[in-house]
Amino acid sequence: MDDKADDQGEIILDVIGQRCPLPVLRARKRLLRLDPGALLRVFASDPVARIDMPHFCAEAGHELVETRDRGTWIEFLIRRGEQVDDPEDIASKPVRDLQP
């Protein structure tokens, strides 16, 4: 997996060769570390990502700016949503919510 910034300030996430559900899980993890409004460009080769990535963005509150078919892989440009929280981020929950 390759994760780097390009000249335009976008973060590039290369998950080519990884199969479902890894492309979406890696994109989710990377988006949670970005500021709201930041752009993530994802390169994926799993055909299922064509269905999963738009669904993930809609459910998680991110904007899927564009999708490009590049032949053997797919390119997604995602803008991080403004009101996105990680439901598994235990550090963000009040202590009273953590007790059984």
> What is the per-residue pLDDT across 17-68, written as a single tens digit (0 to 9) for each?
999 999 999 999 999 999 999 999 999 999 999 999 999 999 999 999 999 9
Angle of the 49-60 helix axis to the 22-32 helix axis, nearest 10: 30
pTM of structure = 0.79
pLDDT given at position 83: 77
pLDDT band at 90 (very low <50, low <70, confident <90, very high): very low
The number of beta carbons lying within 10 Å of the beta carbon of residue 46 is 21
For the chain, list the domains and their CATH numbers.
Answer: 2-97 (3.30.110.40)
Which residues carry out catalysis?
20
Q: Are the C-beta atoms of residues 50 and 20 closer than 8 Å to each other?
A: no
